[in-house]
A and B are shown apart, each in its own frame.
Chain A
Amino acid sequence: MNRYDVLVIGGGLIGCASACYLARRGLRVFLAEKNDLNSLASGQNAGSLHFQLEHRLIEHGDALAAQFAQVLPLNAYASRLWAGLEEDLGASLGVRMDGGLMLAATDEETELLHKKQALESKSGIDTRMLKGAALRACAPYLGEDVRAASFLATEGSANPRLVTLAYARAAAKAGAGVYAGCEVAALSRGGGVWRADLIGANAPAARICADNVLNAAGAFAGRAALLAHLHLPVMPVPLMMCVTDRAPPAIPHLVQRAGARLSMKQARDGNIIIGGGWPARFRTANGTPDFSRRPKLIHSNVARNLALAVQAAPLVAQRRLLRCWTGVVGVTPDQLPYLGAVSKSSGFYAAVGGSGFTLGPAYASLMAELIATGETSLDISAYDPARLSSVNGFMEGAA
């Protein structure tokens, strides 16, 4: 009665995908989401499928870039998953893998691209440098400031509005209990199992028991971890996005910039989605950030973000801005995800951080494998939350 193998906390992409893969492996899964499914970063992000090293990962010098290059095998794993995902879930997800360009508009950026390519080729990521006529032929929409670009054929985009719910449907079909409007209010451990107290309009029971807990609470995973008396440093970061009115098809690629914050793509409906990690601002209450409210848009950042988009593709200047929105992503101190057991003895796992949309399906697939079998087919030791043992060594066993 009310006994599960895994309690998944969080109904975003990672949570719903994990529930799906766990249930398909025959495990009894209970997913608790306090809001609506897909209502935070999973549904609000740009929908980029980027497998080249991002701007944010290469901008801080060679040593750090080499560290971030650890993420590349995971990128390759995720890329394969995305390619077959629409078929696997039996749903249209807007997956488009027509290639991605990372642009350079200065000599420094061009040099950055060359270094990046060297790192990527070591991990079997097949980026190509494009210049001059070859670049224009590949992407005639590019502005004249663009000098070079690195091209990766498997990059692209998917529709964040659709992916999470498709996973949720697949999870339910495989037997998982997926509950939105159901919050885990407390976790306690006794007799080798977790007891979760549930609140919320749709909570099916006041308490359930589970052998394992998977923390997939995204930007708020730190809070969810504290329910189990564990620390998981995940910093909520407020970001903004822009979308234009519908334009005739012109930009088939995911477009990013090597030395500036830009990501751009054209959706199937024609709208051009522009982002790249420009910050919004948390609203405050009594002097501290109020995470329950949508972050506030910073208009000067909208103008800067759009100016970068126009520099990359001048046709954007002819469009109208339809809407901006803000969301909150969770960033880890070292920008690498937490993927694995936070506390091995008690079966408390986390799948949080990093490029949560691009890599979400990969995180979920690997975590399902880990929880079901105790090991993974891909080495994920670089993301092991054990790197927090300096803190959680003190915390463990308190739950």
Chain B
Amino acid sequence: MTNEATTYDAAIVGAGPAGLAAARELSSRGARVVILDEQARPGGQIMRQRPAEFAEDGWLSGGLYRKLKALLREVESLRELDWSMSTTVLGVADADGDEGFVLTAVRADESLTFRAKTVLCCNGCYERPAVFPGAVKPGVMGAGAVQTLLKSQKIVAGDAIFFAGAHPFQLLVAAQIAQAGGRIAGVAFAQSRLRVLSILKEPWLLVSHWRVFATAFGNLVRLRRAGVPLYFGYAMKEAIGANRVETVILQPVDSGGRARTRAPTKRVDADLLAMSYAFEASSELARQVGAQSRWSELSGGWVATHSQLMESSVPGLFVAGEVTGVAGADASLVEGCLAGLGMAVALGSIDAEEAARCAAPHRRRLRNLLRFAQYLARLAAVPAQLFETMAGASAVVCRCEGVTRADIAEALAGNAQISTANSLKLFTRAGMGLCQGRLCYANAAAQMAAQRGARVETLGPFQAQWPARPVSIASLIAAGDEDCVASRTTKIRKPCR
């Protein structure tokens, strides 16, 4: 048995804008830092890179990406950073008796353990799937997943792609697909045209965030020019097709998201449906350690709470980026800077006064960014009744375990004592499958809240269990055989260029 594992000053989970910014801050102060990420190359979802062999000149062009790309290139060139890419973190736990934390992870079916005095969870967010008849058919994807294929492998996921959602993100993806030569069958917003355009009523936003609006406007123009039909005030009614999506049926809805039953539905042929209704903070790793979270309807569900320098309720555990509330890449970057300062204080590299001084400009910028993010979140908010309207009576809520709306309704009606989301999970199996409830929580909890007349925040999140992702049993035993699950030396690679 060897015991040569490094104890890092900081382990950063997630190599997106927040993680990169924190790594830069910490590295500049001499801390020993390891960055872990599921992807093969750093950048996060926003700067998802192609494999090095397929690098290209025009990668992620546009002013929005400029600052982020500069950060990425800078951090990639830092020699003293350790990278563990293609690494899935399974759990974070406080180290018993010792200071700091133990991170369990897996890379290519090899179990790994990392020790660190401080940990930053900046593992982003994921898309909330909508529940409607046909939503589990092949050919229904998240808009983010469609974008991932495009960014990472230059794959246009379908021949005729229809976008349906409530989030402006789908405009961006649609424009990127169109630019890559894909055909867009249409884009449907649940909100009315007026509501989408109400952004113009806030001129201060146009001035302070002109780049975002210029991009959005450019996307719209690009789609219009390509002759893409845009639908406003339409929700998904059904995706139909023999073995996969062939036709999308749209339901007209009012401003509250209720079906306008007298207005005619619309049918559009498409072989791929990309959904973009909402995002959820990926707070489960932080919650696994015991970090407190609060419910935020508009910015990603259960989001981790934190101090001014991004420390969670667990001392030494920091959170940044979408984990603290979905607010976009710029806000994530600034939160990463703040977290880096907070971790430097925790490590004793700087004192609190200096940290406060360095943090001041970041905090001003963050306030501004969060104000804008909140505005966008209100704009992109899913109309109150929309999810209920789309879901109908019997659509699948938990796709891992095949639990339907009807199953959940029956469980709730038959068992008055089920009063938490966890109890619902235990009784129905919704949330017990491969995804650990990430995909079904919001929809199951919303249904429960509606049926019980309760607010989601009173139902609580699903318990965050280890491992965060399914893991090969053979690899766990192989690691255990060496009797050093907690002290295994890990091989670290520099990122491939």
Contacts and interface: CB of A to CB of B under 8 A. Distances in A.
A317 B423 contact: no
A303 B467 CA distance: 13
A181 B420 CA distance: 11
A306 B472 CA distance: 11
Contacts of A36: 417-420, 422-423
B426 A321 contact: no
A178 B417 contact: yes
Interface string A287-315: 00000011011011011101101100000
Interface stretch (A162-170, A216-224, A386-394): A162-170
A269 interface: yes
A320 B472 contact: yes
A39 interface: yes
A38 interface: yes
B213 to A, nearest CB: 44
Contacts of B417: 11, 33, 36-37, 165, 168, 178, 180
A307 to B, nearest CB: 5
A318 B423 contact: no
B434 A322 contact: yes
B470 A162 contact: no
A277 B477 CA distance: 18
B470 A306 contact: no
B463 interface: yes
B474 A317 contact: yes
Interface in B106-121: 113
Interface in A1-26: 11
Contacts of A300: 480, 483, 485-486
Given A299-B486, A307-B480, A324 B426 contact: no
A245 to B, nearest CB: 6
A303 B471 contact: no
B415 A321 contact: no
Interface residues of B, number: 42
Given A161-B427, A307-B480, A180 B419 contact: yes
Nearest to A309: B473
B49 interface: no
Interface string B403-421: 0000000000011111110
B426 A38 contact: yes
B474 A318 contact: yes
Given A165-B415, A281-B96, A322-B434, A43 B426 contact: yes
A141 interface: no
A168, A283, A300, A322: most-surrounded residue (chain B CB, <10 A): A322
A288 to B, nearest CB: 15
A122 interface: no
B415 A302 contact: no
A56 interface: no
Contacts of A178: 417
Contacts of B470: 245, 320-322
B465 A321 contact: no
A325 interface: yes
A283 B93 CA distance: 11
Contact of B479 (A37, A202, A303): A303
B98 interface: no
B27 interface: no
B332 interface: no
Contacts of B71: none
Interface in B255-299: 290
A294 B94 CA distance: 14
A294 B467 contact: no
B222 interface: no
Name A's interface SS: mixed
A260 B281 CA distance: 42
A38 B423 contact: yes
A70 interface: no
A317 B426 contact: no
B466 interface: yes
Contacts of A37: 417-418, 423
Contact of A39 (B401, B414, B422, B429): B422
A319 interface: yes
A48 B96 CA distance: 31
Contacts of B471: 320-321
A224 B241 CA distance: 59
B426 A316 contact: no
B290, B401, B465, B473: most-surrounded residue (chain A CB, <10 A): B473
Interface residues of A, number: 45
A37 to B, nearest CB: 5
B482 to A, nearest CB: 10
A319 B401 CA distance: 17
B436 interface: yes
A346 interface: no
A388 B160 CA distance: 76
B146 to A, nearest CB: 27
A277 B229 CA distance: 61
A79 to B, nearest CB: 25
Contacts of A309: 473
A168 B290 CA distance: 31
Contacts of B465: 323-325
A307 B474 CA distance: 9
B353 interface: no
A296 B401 CA distance: 27
Contacts of A165: 415, 417-418, 427
Nearest to A272: B473
A244 B417 CA distance: 29
B472 A299 contact: no
Interface string B305-337: 000000000000000000000000000000000
A336 B320 CA distance: 50
Nearest to B419: A36
A169 B467 CA distance: 34
B416, B426, B429, B483: most-surrounded residue (chain A CB, <10 A): B426
Contacts of A304: 480
A55 B234 CA distance: 62
B354 interface: no
Contacts of B45: none
Nearest to B477: A307
Contacts of B414: 169
A33, A283, A293, A317: most-surrounded residue (chain B CB, <10 A): A317
Interface string B457-496: 0000001011100111110110111010110000000000
A293 B93 CA distance: 14
Contacts of A162: 427
Nearest to B402: A269
Contact of A244 (B423, B473, B481, B483): B473
B467 A323 contact: yes
Contacts of B94: 296
B476 A269 contact: no
Contacts of B96: 281, 296
B485 A299 contact: yes
Contact of B466 (A33, A244, A297, A320): A297
B419 A181 contact: yes
A309 B471 CA distance: 16
Nearest to A302: B476
Nearest to B288: A297
21 contacts: A36-B419, A36-B423, A37-B418, A39-B420, A43-B426, A165-B417, A165-B427, A178-B417, A180-B419, A245-B434, A299-B485, A299-B486, A300-B486, A306-B476, A309-B473, A317-B477, A321-B471, A323-B432, A323-B466, A324-B465, A324-B466
Given A299-B102, A307-B480, A321-B472, 10 more contacts: A38-B423, A39-B426, A161-B426, A245-B434, A296-B96, A299-B104, A300-B483, A303-B477, A320-B471, A323-B432
Interface of B: 91, 93-94, 96, 102, 104, 113, 290, 401, 414-420, 422-423, 426-427, 429, 432-434, 436, 463, 465-467, 470-474, 476-477, 479-481, 483, 485-486
Q: Which 9 A-B pairs have the closest CB atoms?
A: A303-B480, A320-B470, A180-B417, A36-B423, A317-B474, A37-B417, A307-B477, A323-B465, A300-B485
